[in-house]
Chain A
Amino acid sequence: MPRSSKREPHQMPFPGMRASKSKRRERKGERMGPIRRSRLVLVTAPVTRRRFLSRTLGWVTAGIAAALGAPAVSAVVAPALRKEVSQWSPVGRLGDPEADEPDLSKTGVPLLTTFTSLLEDAYMKATPQNVPVFVINHGEGSFTILDVRCTHLGCPVAWDEKKEEFLSPCHGGVFDADGRVLAGPPPRPLDRYEFKVEGGVLYAGALFQVDEDLERVT
């Protein structure tokens, strides 16, 4: 390769980089090459009838596409932008219970009761009634709401007052009073519901799972 064909280092652009702007500006003064001249012709070509019509057609088409595309995209995207709203279902009134009301005032003892779930999932309006839960009152407005279903295969667990354990009737799953697994095949502690107390009423929120340290994982 002849020496002269290799460019001097200061002329060599970095790979993938075009000549700097100043270089281009320098060239402006020069006589235009054939390619630049032809490009200029292309840009300034007279607006012929054909050009005008095809451009108009293009813009009208783009307009229709946008008019149809905007509702389409927003409809499909909208559900993704919905904030997750926690929905609360009343479990029971605190204070002196009337007939047929669960007595939530007893502390430290799991109380089996039921509530009507008001959860909604898009078009699913089903409101499951009589959802069974164990409510444990820790006092000072602190509650644990345990799902009765064993985490192994979903059999409803029962509270054994003498042993102070939850027993699953199906495969010998045993949980302690906080829902931790003591024995048997269950893979994780009992699931629980979010809770809140508002206006003297205990509400259940979303169902979630916990790990062995009772830290929320879902």
Chain B
Amino acid sequence: MFARSAQWIEERLGLRPVASRVLDKPVPRNITWLHCFGGLTFFTFILQVVTGIILAFFYVPSPDHARDSVRWFQDSIPFGTVVRNLHRVGASAMVVLVFLHMLRVFVHAAYRKPRELNWVLGLSLLLLVLGFGFTGYLLPWDQKAFWATNVGLNIVGTVPLVGEALANLLRGGPALGALTLLRFFALHVFVLPILLAAGMLLHFAMVRKQGIARPL
């Protein structure tokens, strides 16, 4: 159907060799289904980005309207419930898959030289994913969200020396309120996605450079 257009573009840009260099990489024979968890995590990331963008069309990060806007999205918009629950369940699935991926790398001892850097980077990606979960949990602004975040921030407060300052920084002051919601929203929607995307690119680039670890 698009053969002619593809041909037209190909004549001008010559992208086929580039694509084949990127995509036609033979995988080693020792690949198992267990090696899929990383890719599945990436798939859930795409899922979260897509559903998250749709939610952003309707969500209001204000204590006045956060709950109403979420409720209204679910009740009045076609597929609203589906989209929101995809985002909610997808978040849990992402954390589970990240852990399974980490477990696989651990059991295969794929973190050993020369892949230590990628293991450490992977750990920071894990923290980012957990950060997504923590910040996203507050956004619906219901009782559970409010008190769970309250507990979470109190735990942050128990960190020696800097704990209280750190908790206040996250909370936007001594009391959980409008600023906390706005902060968590900004982190969830702007800061964390950029960090995670950049980290993932680096993660994949390193896998490509170093190849997949040989079996034990």
Give A residues with C-beta under 8 Å from B.
Answer: 68, 70-72, 74-76, 78-79, 122-125
How does the 8 Å CB contact mask read for B6-47 relative to A, with 1 for contact and 0 for none? 000000000000000000000000000000000000000001
CB < 8 Å: which of A68, A70, A75, A125 contacts B57? A75
Asked if B160 is an interface residue, CB under 8 A from chain A, the answer is no
Asked if B128 is an interface residue, CB under 8 A from chain A, the answer is no
Contact in complex: B60, A75 (CB < 8 Å): no
Contact in complex: A71, B83 (CB < 8 Å): yes
Asked if B79 is an interface residue, CB under 8 A from chain A, the answer is yes
CB < 8 Å: which of A72, A78, A123, A124 contacts B50? A72
Contact in complex: A75, B79 (CB < 8 Å): yes
Contact in complex: B68, A72 (CB < 8 Å): no
The stretch of B69-77, B100-108, B111-119 in contact with A is B69-77
Asked if B82 is an interface residue, CB under 8 A from chain A, the answer is yes
Contact in complex: A76, B57 (CB < 8 Å): yes
Asked if B80 is an interface residue, CB under 8 A from chain A, the answer is yes
Other CB < 8 Å A-B pairs besides A72-B83, A122-B76, 4 of them? A68-B47, A71-B54, A75-B79, A123-B65
Nearest CB in chain B: distance from A211 CB, A: 35
Please report the total number of B residues contacting A with Cβ < 8 Å: 22
Contact in complex: B72, A75 (CB < 8 Å): no
Complex Cα spacing A122 to B72, Å: 7
Q: B50 — which chain A residues lie within 8 A by C-beta?
A: 68, 72
Give B residues with C-beta under 8 Å from A.
Answer: 47, 50-51, 53-54, 57-58, 60, 65, 68-69, 71-73, 76-80, 82-83, 86
In the complex, residue of chain B having the shortest beta-carbon distance to the beta carbon of A79: B77
Contact in complex: B78, A75 (CB < 8 Å): yes
Complex Cα spacing A50 to B72, Å: 48
Complex Cα spacing A68 to B82, Å: 10
Contact in complex: A78, B77 (CB < 8 Å): yes
In the complex, residue of chain A having the shortest beta-carbon distance to the beta carbon of B59: A123
